[in-house]
Structure 1
Amino acid sequence: MSTITINHLTFAYPGQDDIFTDQSITLDTSWHLGLTGRNGRGKSTLLNLLRGQLTGTGSINVPVPVTYFPQPVRDTSRDAWMVIDDITTSETWMVERELTLLGVPSDTLYRPFDSLSGGEQTKLLLAVLFADNTSFPLIDEPTNHLDHASREQVATYLNGKRQGYIVVAHDRDFLNAVTDHTLAIEKQGITLMQGNFATYTQTKDAQDQREQAEQSQLRKDIGRLQATARAKRDWSGNREADKHGNRHVKGSTQGDGTIADKGFITARAARTMKKAKHLEHRMDDEIAAKEKLLQNVEYIEPLHMLYTPDHHDVLITVRNLSLSYGDQPLFAPVSFTVKRGEQVAVVGPNGAGKTSLIRALQGNFAGHVDGEITVVQSAQASHVRQLFPDNRGLLGDFAEQRGVDYQELLRNLKQLGVERSVFAVPIEQMSAGQQKKVELAASLATPTGLYVWDEPLNYLDVFNQDQLIDVINSVQPTMLLTEHDQHFIDAVATKVITLQPA
């Protein structure tokens, strides 16, 4: 057991604001540590600082060697064992041992790396990572290409490791299963606590609610103080006017009808004005103190979905559908409907044919189609795809090409957490997460009666996921989607279609 120490760390990319400012923290290398925070807060940056790929001011002491997932693969056309030989010094038998624990057949090593599914590639690289049990693994987004069963399998694998690690993931169920400590990058700094992601969110929600309640009470106090201060100022001003004979105020005369002593009025007015000023300063101090408490409260803006319900009751009908390449069907025949206002989830393991089914609905499946697919002609679907290499150029031109309102596109991008500075960057130069948000924001900004989304959560943080859950549950659009995140499926789906092996 050893400790990683970070002292007074400050880091910023050239020409940008600080990502970290004077942060100090100590981490135990035996922890199963979950690293969480909104996209763009610096999770991958922190991992790169720990592995020495970036340098800031202050000091970082990592007393053990670190390894990183995903490892770069130079030539994906080579057999998997050759790829392994390039990225690790561990013996092949050690990697095979880890593959067995992950449920991957050892003959996978002798297939071309690029012929493996995304899930198989992920498991292979994780096996390489943990074959070296002398290092401290940094695991960045292992769940992106894993189906639900594989996520549970990898979670069981990681949870059984005596070896410590840091893992970044946006699947809350996965984080809850594989972590015992949480490091959260918040708006104003880094928070470390014992417990998994659920423990962190419960604690943070309670803290946010308490601070917001205090702020609400403060606003009431401020209103009362402001009213008192105004009354005192008005009284003082009126007394000053009496002194100079500018006005006559009822009740300001002595019993014999003469004006009350002007010196007394002036003195009292001065004392009242001083008290009013003191109240103002006290009020300002209270405001400043309380606003500091709210600096870590996350304000999640709602998304806007331009759903226009179709007049048809049933928009999609699928009867006895099977898809195949050659003589090999992808799944057993399936039948279902998508009715107006339903959110239908199509689930199944990687390779089951979920994306192929969506392509068949679009009329562009390259294999053989058996059965019947009917999509009403009026239902021009708005799509979110897994891959979108055709999204290129500046956002204004992209909006025109997709036929969406430019301001509506920008609005949703902003709500999804994309910085305004990114709006001027060509889409192909954005990060993978930002590109995914462009695809998603364009779909939300498309007036349509049918949404077809293929794994919309890839690269999205839990705050973005909650935004999607909220807008879907609020709008209740007609939707067909695929997704591996069980929490999301449970939250939004009104009907689930499971693809079974043929």
Structure 2
Amino acid sequence: MLINIENLHFSYGIHEIFKELNVSINEKEQIGLVGRNGTGKSTFLKLLTGELVPDEGRISKKNNLTMSYLAQEVTVSGDTTLHEMLTSVFQNLIDMEVKIKSLGHQISETKGNEQEKLMAEYGELQEAFSENRGYEYPSRVRGILNGLGFVEDDLDKAFSVLSGGEKTRATLGQILLQEPELLLLDEPTNYLDIEALQWLEQYLKTYSGTFIIISHDRFFLDKVCTKILEVSKETIKVYNGNYTQFSHKKRLDLMEYDHQYQQQQKEVNHQKEVIKRFHQYNTEKSTKRAASREKALEKVEMLDKAEVVHKSHFSFKPRVQSGNDVLAVENLKKSFDQHLLFQNLSFEIHRGDKIGIIGPNGAGKTTLFRILQGLVSADSGEIRMGHKVHVGYFDQEHDDLKNFYNENLLEALWDIDKRLTEGELRKHLAAFLFVGDEVFKPIGSLSGGEKARLLLARLMISQSNFLLMDEPTNHIDMDTKDILETALSSYEGTLLFISHDRYFINRIANKIYVFTPDGVEVHLGNYDDYLRHKSEAEERETLTANENRVVVTKTQQKTDRKKLKEEEARLRNLKREVKEIEEAILSQELNIAMIEQKMCHPDFYNDLDNASLVNCDYEDNKLKLAELTDQWEEALMLLETL
């Protein structure tokens, strides 16, 4: 065991974060720390490091435990170069290396006993250097640099001139090189492109120590974690498995808790009715019996009301429908300070497309968005917007809301469309989980996730029918991601988005555009489909040296347009069918669970006629579930052949 926490209490003023917390961290555990924003995830890591001290309770640590912490706020001396920052981890090895060279020089200039003494020291030092992997550290630094997306020219850059994302990656690299027994990482994936994410996944899978990672990247958590700690309601609950397994178990736990709560409420109400009748009898005996039951009821440990999970069910259709041809980009080129971002950039976007753009950091993805909005000029090339196309921009920094910080949510929507009534605005806000008096909250008081939901709500009632979204899932919690994904899944306009969130890409995209130095690759389907296409292409390359992934040109697009559209429509329809079947299966499973709850009731068989009808209904539902499952498996098999 590395860390054991017993009966921990911690508060910020009157706001209690943890209460009677008990949890253990063991050796070689791969842990994901999840929970809504503001529940105390970062606070928990700071308690482990000692940066924060608990109000009560005890944190016991293994003797001489080595620990490294990547915080969201990076603090490093501005004059330190990237090379100095990374190699400082190995300062003891560097000192040993200097000493070994010095001893070698001294040995060559001495004789006799003095030389033998120096040679003995030289041998011991060289052995210690080897045992501490001294010969490996330069290659370890290079491996970390390459894995996190740095190049050799970056080594001499001062930390102060690095971008925010580069500073986070540099600090992450320094921490990984330390290889502590316990690695604490707070949102390490926010500034990594997909290649760096994949590299980090592989690194962590083989990590010899324990790590605890805060991340909203569900794909990443699925890949690297074997245990999930959920921070909720002033405590931490432990789930074995990855994020997907945690989500399933949590859903079952909530259903079970809700059942227990309902049963307790039913029993409490029954006891209150009995007590009420005893009081109405108004006899000495009945009064005593009422008092006895009241005492027993007071001793019952009451369950809190089950957590209500709001789900958004809505379909958005843009107020103005664009023409079929939304955007055409031809031979676009852009450079900054003689640094080429991209060239030969050509593609077409049609109404209803939901396109995810991926590619390495620095490939010019955000610059393309700025060009499309008219904020930056291209060096050459042509951009043609289609008929009745209205562009909307989802900004992860929420700049669009800065002029409304003193206004409330209703006013922020009225600014977009003053024809809507308060009732219509409330209904619209409720779809984004703003209910009751929340609509009167000042925008300046909203959390990052709430601002993201409000920004999306504004876009959805605007005239926008072509949305540009730059990293829309950064810095928002899982609940807000679910709202965002539900809204975009049902959005009937056109969507072009940049994202490194592979789970999000998987759920939303029907095409993937991969930025390369010489253009853009077009892949039909979501991220899983892209990976399959990529794997198949790599397999073909081993068989045919000249075969490679094809950069789609304008000529090829025209030639293959009909075939591409037919395949795209077939894939889209089949995926819609799979989704509909999955929703029907979920509904059927819920029906069966509800019937099973009825059948488990102690009084169920008191009414045999009703019990017989319920049993027949139960068998019918199970038969329907089996039929739906068969349909789902057939549809999946067909999907795999495409």
Pick the TM interval, shorter chain. Answer: 0.7 to 0.9
Question: Retained in 1: the 8 A contact 2:456–2:484?
Answer: no
For 1:127 and 1:282, locate their aligned partners in 2 and report how far apart those are by CA, in whole Å.
Answer: 60
Match of 1:441 in 2: 454
Residues 278 and 452 of structure 1: is their aligned pair in 2 closer, same or farther, counting only changes over 3 Å? farther
Q: Deviations over 1:224-257 (max 9, x none)?
A: x499869x95x997xx8xxxxxxxxxxxxxxxxx
Residues 401 and 196 of structure 1: is their aligned pair in 2 closer, same or farther, counting only changes over 3 Å? closer
Structure 1 residue 283, shift from structure 2 partner: 8.7
Residues 50 and 336 of structure 1: is their aligned pair in 2 closer, same or farther, counting only changes over 3 Å? same
Match of 1:97 in 2: 140
The amino acid of 2:457's aligned partner reads L
Structure 1 residue 128, shift from structure 2 partner: 1.0
Q: Is the deviation greater in 391-400 or in 343-352?
A: 391-400
Match of 1:334 in 2: 346
Match of 2:174 in 1: 128
**SS of aligned partner of 1:456:** coil
2:475 paired residue among 459, 468, 472:
459
The amino acid of 1:10's aligned partner reads H
Match of 2:18 in 1: 20
The amino acid of 2:476's aligned partner reads L
The amino acid of 1:470's aligned partner reads T
Q: Deviations over 1:259-281 (max 9, x none)?
A: xxxxxxx97x986x998998999
Q: In the alignment, is residue 470 of structure 1 matched against residue 491 of structure 2? A: no
Question: Retained in 2: the 8 A contact 1:383–1:453?
Answer: yes
Match of 2:329 in 1: 319
For 2:357 and 2:60, locate their aligned partners in 1 and report how far apart those are by CA, in whole Å.
Answer: 47
Q: In the alignment, is residue 206 of structure 1 matched against residue 248 of structure 2? A: no
**SS of aligned partner of 1:40:** coil
Structure 1 residue 4, shift from structure 2 partner: 0.7
Match of 1:10 in 2: 9
Question: Retained in 2: the 8 A contact 1:338–1:344?
Answer: no
Question: Retained in 1: the 8 A contact 2:17–2:234?
Answer: no
For 1:107 and 1:270, locate their aligned partners in 2 and report how far apart those are by CA, in whole Å.
Answer: 91
Q: Deviations over 1:405-461 (max 9, x none)?
A: 8996995799389x97x956857xx8xxx3464255223224223332111100112
Residues 298 and 394 of structure 1: is their aligned pair in 2 closer, same or farther, counting only changes over 3 Å? same
Question: Retained in 1: the 8 A contact 2:5–2:60?
Answer: yes
Give aligned pairs, total: 456
Q: In the alignment, is residue 415 of structure 1 matched against residue 428 of structure 2? A: no
Structure 1 residue 143, shift from structure 2 partner: 0.6
Question: Retained in 2: the 8 A contact 1:453–1:481?
Answer: yes
Q: Deviations over 1:122-148 (max 9, x none)?
A: 443222112223452211101101122
Residues 196 and 388 of structure 1: is their aligned pair in 2 closer, same or farther, counting only changes over 3 Å? same
Match of 2:320 in 1: 310
The amino acid of 1:370's aligned partner reads G
Residues 155 and 107 of structure 1: is their aligned pair in 2 closer, same or farther, counting only changes over 3 Å? same
Structure 1 residue 285, shift from structure 2 partner: 8.2
Give the alignment's TM-score, normalised by structure 2.
Answer: 0.60
Question: Retained in 2: the 8 A contact 1:321–1:372?
Answer: no
Structure 1 residue 9, shift from structure 2 partner: 1.1
Q: Which has the higher contact order (CA 8 A, sep 6+)?
A: 1
Question: Retained in 2: the 8 A contact 1:306–1:445?
Answer: no
Residues 67 and 228 of structure 1: is their aligned pair in 2 closer, same or farther, counting only changes over 3 Å? closer
Structure 1 residue 321, shift from structure 2 partner: 4.3
Question: Retained in 1: the 8 A contact 2:401–2:455?
Answer: no
Structure 1 residue 484, shift from structure 2 partner: 1.1
For 2:196 and 2:178, locate their aligned partners in 1 and report how far apart those are by CA, in whole Å.
Answer: 22
RMSD between superposed Cα atoms in Å = 4.3
The amino acid of 1:132's aligned partner reads Q
Match of 1:261 in 2: none
For 2:79 and 2:398, locate their aligned partners in 1 and report how far apart those are by CA, in whole Å.
Answer: 23
**SS of aligned partner of 2:248:** helix
**SS of aligned partner of 1:138:** strand
Q: Is the deviation greater in 471-480 or in 182-191?
A: 471-480
Match of 2:81 in 1: 79
Q: In the alignment, is residue 158 of structure 1 matched against residue 211 of structure 2? A: no
Q: Show structure 2 runs of 5+ residues with no match.
A: 95-135, 519-642
Higher helix share: 2
For 1:484 and 1:36, locate their aligned partners in 2 and report how far apart those are by CA, in whole Å.
Answer: 19
Question: Retained in 2: the 8 A contact 1:391–1:398?
Answer: no
Alignment map for 1:10-49 (pairs within 5 Å): 10-14=9-13, 16-49=14-47
Q: Show structure 1 runs of 5+ residues with no match.
A: 241-265
Alignment map for 1:155-234 (pairs within 5 Å): 155-215=201-261, 225=270
Identity score, percent: 23
